[in-house]
Amino acid sequence: MGNPVVEQYISGKLNLEGTNGHLTEHQKDLLRQLWVKLLAAFDKNIEELGHSEPIIDPSEKDSDENIEDHAKDGGNMKSSKSEPATNTSALTNGFSLFGFGKKKVEHHDIHYKQLVRHMASKESVPPPFNEKLTNHTVRDAFWDSIMCDNPDYLMLRFLRARKWNVNDGYNMIMNCLSWRTTENITKIQWYGESLINLRLIKKGLGFLHGVDRIGQPVFYIPAHTHFGKDQPIEHFVRYIIYLIEMARLSLVHPAEKACIFFDLQHISMANVDWKGFRAFLKVLTDYYPECLGILIVYKANSIFSLLWKAVKGMLDPVVASKVNFVNSKQELLKFISEDQLLSEYEGKCDYHYEYVMPRPGENDRMYDAEEICRLKTERIKSIEELETATREWSDPNISKEKVEEAKKKRDETIEKFIGISKSYRDHVHARTIYHRLGLVNN
């Protein structure tokens, strides 16, 4: 039997089994069961869920800053734009392979902790975060994570990731909501790029452009641009979260996953960052399940082969089956058409990533507290209607004849919820490079 991931590209058709609108009767029942469990937990205080396992060990953090520090204006980290963005770190105590070995003592340059907001104009950055948007209950955290998606998409991701086991899917959702609250994802979305390490985002270590042959957005990762010592590990994790959230915006129905293009050309031991790679895998598999469509590993060398042996055993077999090693243009064209493939990989797309700084006034609507309050009130009302419709549709005692009628009513409330939520999102999420390039509609 062939690899079902690869077979999609052979047939040219996205495999939609297990996705919304393509469920068996049994899968529909399991989705309703999961909703029953989740709705029963909505009034719980989010703190009752406990704390999820941290992405990085607190002892590994090397930044004494937090998100609130970055909400304050300050130019003390500004430097001449003509300064080279290079790290002058000096290892003074030992060698480390994949993050293991003796502890490093490093001296960092001014760019180490420099964020976009340190170099952007004050007129371009969002206002201080509104604490009224903070999550307090499971309900708050859930609808915050949904933002303006169809909520069933998220529920089905967790069900598929846990092999359609309702209890396991529920536990995974709870862990994810706890993590999103702990990591302040709402604040990261609010401040957006202003909180991102400037050197990281300028390098283009992770950018979106085009789609693959089955309509999934392509997420390029040129690994040779990454040096773990160039920024604090927590800056790197925040950047991962930002990138994945941006990938969510680029999804166009029916695609629900992304194609990750892992370019390993020109990498050396200096590019190997075990802590960062481990964090990336954990975020992707534990908190954004079923978001990976395929992982193209381009021109892997012996360094990655060594790392792959250590990592493969840690992956779920389904995730591991999505990894495809490619070494030539001909092999690439099986997954990405020539007109979508970037010219640096011998394709016909002339796009070259270049970071565009935030523009003055682009986040002005985030300063309209009255409109934000109005939209939030409308959104809360639409959520209440959707919850009521969902309770009726998921009621274990509902007759089969009434399920379809309840579903139709619920579908209408979902559409209403999505429309209102899009307007709300545009007032509580900072603009990004993808808005500036016109790739994401405001």
- What is the pLDDT at residue 141? 95
Mean pLDDT of the 46-69 span? 66
DSSP 21-55: T---HHHHHHHHHHHHHHHHHTTSBGGGG--PPPS
User: Confidence class of residue 346 from pLDDT cuts 50, 70 and 90?
Assistant: very high
Q: Is the pLDDT of residue 374 over 90?
A: yes
Mean pLDDT of 356-378: 96
Q: Which of 36, 30, 140, 26 is nearest to 391 (CA)?
A: 36
- For residue 299, give Cα distances in angstroms to 82, 233, 261, 370: 34, 26, 11, 53
Kindly state the tokens that stand for 56: 């990085």
Whether residue 225 has pLDDT greater than 70: yes
User: Cα(32)–Cα(386) distance, rounded to whole angstroms?
Assistant: 14
Check pLDDT > 60 for residue 187. yes
Does the structure show a pLDDT above 80 at 250?
Answer: yes
Confidence (pLDDT) at 53: 72
The arithmetic mean of pLDDT across residues 38-52, rounded, is: 87
Residue 68 has pLDDT above 80, yes or no: no
Mean pLDDT over 294-319 rounds to 87
Asked if residue 158 has pLDDT above 60, the reply is yes
What pLDDT digit, counting tens, does each position of 381-399 carry? 999 999 999 999 999 999 9
Here the tokens at position 282 are 């954990």
Given a cut of 90, is residue 48 above it in pLDDT? Answer: no
pLDDT at 65: 54
So what's the pLDDT on residue 27? 98
If pLDDT is split at 50, 70 and 90, which confidence band does 313 have?
A: confident
| DSSP letter, residue 129 | P
| DSSP codes joined into one string, 109-128 | -TTSS-BHHHHS-GGGSPPP
Percent of the chain past pLDDT 70, that is, above it, reads: 87
Who wins on pLDDT, 330 or 90? 330
Q: Does 427 have pLDDT greater than 80?
A: yes
Q: Which of 225, 222, 288 shows the shortest CA–CA distance to 258? A: 288
Specify the higher pLDDT residue, 442 or 22: 22
- Per DSSP, the three-state class of 222 is strand
Q: How far apart are CA 363 and CA 240, in angstroms?
A: 22
Coil, strand or helix at 229: helix
- Tell me the average pLDDT of the chain: 87
Q: How much is the average pLDDT of 267-284?
A: 90
For residue 103, name the pLDDT band (cuts at 50, 70, 90). very low
> Per-residue pLDDT averaged across 9-14, rounded?
95
Q: Which of 126-140, 222-236, 377-391 shows the lowest per-residue confidence on average (mean pLDDT)?
A: 126-140
* Rounded distance between C-alpha atoms, residue 141 and residue 204, angstroms: 30
**Identity of residue 340:** Q
d(CA 207, CA 219): 6
Confidence category of residue 278, pLDDT binned at 50, 70, 90 = confident
Question: How many Å apart are CA 394 and CA 33, to the nearest integer?
Answer: 7
Distance CA 243, CA 48 (A): 29
| Contact between residue 415 and residue 253 where contact means Cβ atoms under 8 Å apart | no
Q: Is the pLDDT of residue 166 over 50?
A: yes
Give the HSE-up count for residue 44: Cα atoms under 13 Å, Cβ half-sphere: 17
Written as six digits, the tokens of 145 are: 């994570």
Residue 96, helix vs strand vs coil: strand
For residue 96, pLDDT over 70 is answered with no
Which of 90-99, 131-140, 254-263 is least confident?
90-99
Q: Check residue 106 and give its pLDDT.
A: 55
Backbone angles phi, psi at 322, to 5 degrees: -90, -5
Residue type, position 65, single letter: E
Query: Is pLDDT of 269 > 60?
Result: yes
Residue 397, CA distances (Å) to 35, 257, 439 in order: 14, 34, 46
* Residue with token string 């991701």: 157
Distance CA 388, CA 240 (A): 35
Domain ranges of the chain: 1-70+112-366
Distance CA 393, CA 34 (A): 12
Q: At residue 319, does pLDDT exceed 70?
A: yes
Confidence at residue 365, expressed as pLDDT on a 0 to 100 scale: 97
Q: Using a CB cutoff of 8 Å and minimum separation of 24, what contacts does 289-292 make? A: 289/157, 289/158, 289/160, 289/161, 289/172, 290/156, 290/157, 290/158, 290/160, 290/161, 290/256, 290/257, 291/157, 291/244, 291/247, 291/248, 291/256, 291/257, 291/258, 292/257, 292/258, 292/260, 292/319, 292/322
The fold of the 1-70+112-366 domain, in CATH, is: Phosphatidylinositol Transfer Protein Sec14p (3.40.525)
Of 27-31, 82-86, 423-427, where does mean pLDDT reach its minimum? 82-86
Query: What's the pLDDT score for residue 95?
Result: 34
How many residues are listed for the chain in this entry?
Answer: 442
What distance, in Å, lies between the first and last C-alpha atoms of the chain?
A: 44
CA atoms of 134 and 140, how far apart (whole Å): 8
Which of the residue ranges 18-32, 313-327, 365-379, 381-395 would you say has the lowest mean pLDDT?
313-327
DSSP state of 78: -
How many whole angstroms separate alpha carbon 199 and alpha carbon 182?
Answer: 26
pLDDT for the residue 301: 87
107 confidence band (pLDDT: 50, 70, 90): low
Structure confidence at residue 47 as a pLDDT band (50, 70, 90): confident
Q: 275 pLDDT exceeds 80? A: yes
Average pLDDT score over residue span 31-48: 95
Kindly give, in sequence order, each residue whose CB lies less than 8 Å from that of residue 194, ignoring residues fewer than 6 positions away: 70, 115, 116, 117, 120, 124, 125, 126, 358, 430
The predicted structure's pLDDT at residue 222: 96
> Which candidate, 239, 202, 242, 224, places its Cα nearest to that of 111?
202
